[in-house]
Amino acid sequence: MILREIVLGPTEENKREIIYGNFGRQVIVKDIHEGLCHGVLLEEGSDKEVYQMKIEDARGRRQLHYNDLLQLIALYSDRRFPLPKIR
Protein backbone atom coordinates (compact mmCIF):
# COMPACT_ATOMS: atom_id res chain seq x y z
CA MET A 1 0.00 0.00 0.00
CA ILE A 2 1.03 3.58 -0.56
CA LEU A 3 0.55 6.22 2.14
CA ARG A 4 0.03 9.89 1.24
CA GLU A 5 -0.39 12.61 3.82
CA ILE A 6 -3.05 15.13 2.87
CA VAL A 7 -2.26 18.63 4.02
CA LEU A 8 -5.11 20.08 6.06
CA GLY A 9 -5.97 23.75 6.08
CA PRO A 10 -6.57 25.63 9.31
CA THR A 11 -10.35 25.90 8.99
CA GLU A 12 -13.10 23.41 9.71
CA GLU A 13 -14.52 24.11 6.22
CA ASN A 14 -11.22 23.05 4.61
CA LYS A 15 -11.15 19.83 6.67
CA ARG A 16 -14.76 19.10 5.69
CA GLU A 17 -13.97 19.50 1.97
CA ILE A 18 -11.00 17.14 2.27
CA ILE A 19 -13.08 14.50 4.08
CA TYR A 20 -15.88 14.83 1.48
CA GLY A 21 -13.33 14.32 -1.29
CA ASN A 22 -12.13 11.08 0.29
CA PHE A 23 -15.41 9.30 1.15
CA GLY A 24 -15.03 5.56 0.56
CA ARG A 25 -11.24 5.64 0.87
CA GLN A 26 -9.20 3.89 3.53
CA VAL A 27 -7.39 6.45 5.66
CA ILE A 28 -5.48 6.89 8.87
CA VAL A 29 -6.64 9.88 10.87
CA LYS A 30 -5.14 11.51 13.92
CA ASP A 31 -7.84 12.98 16.12
CA ILE A 32 -7.55 15.01 19.33
CA HIS A 33 -9.71 12.53 21.29
CA GLU A 34 -9.28 9.19 19.49
CA GLY A 35 -5.57 9.33 18.62
CA LEU A 36 -4.73 7.36 15.48
CA CYS A 37 -7.54 5.45 13.73
CA HIS A 38 -7.44 3.33 10.57
CA GLY A 39 -10.67 2.86 8.66
CA VAL A 40 -12.91 3.85 5.77
CA LEU A 41 -14.50 7.30 5.54
CA LEU A 42 -18.27 6.93 5.25
CA GLU A 43 -20.59 9.37 3.53
CA GLU A 44 -23.59 7.91 5.38
CA GLY A 45 -24.10 9.74 8.66
CA SER A 46 -21.64 12.53 7.85
CA ASP A 47 -22.87 16.12 7.99
CA LYS A 48 -21.58 19.67 8.59
CA GLU A 49 -20.52 18.89 12.19
CA VAL A 50 -19.26 15.28 12.12
CA TYR A 51 -17.98 12.57 9.81
CA GLN A 52 -18.23 8.80 10.13
CA MET A 53 -15.55 6.11 9.88
CA LYS A 54 -15.89 2.35 9.70
CA ILE A 55 -13.17 0.84 11.87
CA GLU A 56 -12.22 -2.77 12.64
CA ASP A 57 -12.80 -2.77 16.38
CA ALA A 58 -15.56 -3.69 18.82
CA ARG A 59 -17.55 -0.51 18.10
CA GLY A 60 -17.23 -0.85 14.33
CA ARG A 61 -17.91 2.83 13.67
CA ARG A 62 -16.83 6.17 15.00
CA GLN A 63 -18.33 9.61 14.72
CA LEU A 64 -15.62 12.27 14.68
CA HIS A 65 -15.71 16.07 14.59
CA TYR A 66 -13.98 17.97 11.79
CA ASN A 67 -12.45 20.50 14.18
CA ASP A 68 -10.74 17.65 16.12
CA LEU A 69 -8.96 16.33 13.00
CA LEU A 70 -5.19 16.82 13.23
CA GLN A 71 -3.83 14.68 10.40
CA LEU A 72 -5.15 12.64 7.45
CA ILE A 73 -3.19 9.98 5.58
CA ALA A 74 -4.83 8.40 2.52
CA LEU A 75 -4.06 4.76 1.68
CA TYR A 76 -3.70 3.64 -1.93
CA SER A 77 -3.44 0.09 -3.19
CA ASP A 78 -0.28 -1.22 -4.82
CA ARG A 79 -0.21 -4.55 -6.66
CA ARG A 80 2.64 -5.77 -4.47
CA PHE A 81 1.12 -4.44 -1.24
CA PRO A 82 -2.71 -4.45 -1.33
CA LEU A 83 -4.83 -2.58 1.18
CA PRO A 84 -5.95 -4.47 4.29
CA LYS A 85 -9.56 -5.68 4.29
CA ILE A 86 -12.06 -3.76 6.40
CA ARG A 87 -15.37 -5.61 6.67
Model confidence over 38-78: pLDDT tens digits?
A: 999 999 999 999 999 998 777 789 999 999 999 999 999 98
Residue 84 lies in a domain: no
Q: How far apart are CA 1 and CA 27, in angstroms?
A: 11
Residue 27 lies in a domain: yes
**Which residues constitute the domain of residue 42?**
2-76
Checking if the pLDDT of 28 tops 90, the result is: yes
Nearest one of 8, 20, 4 to 75, comparing CA atoms:
4
Nearest one of 33, 36, 22, 25 to 71, comparing CA atoms:
36
CB 19 within 8 A of CB 64: no
Residue 15 lies in a domain: yes
Residue 23 lies in a domain: yes
> What CATH number has the domain bearing residue 53?
2.30.30.520
Please tell me the total count of domains within the chain.
1
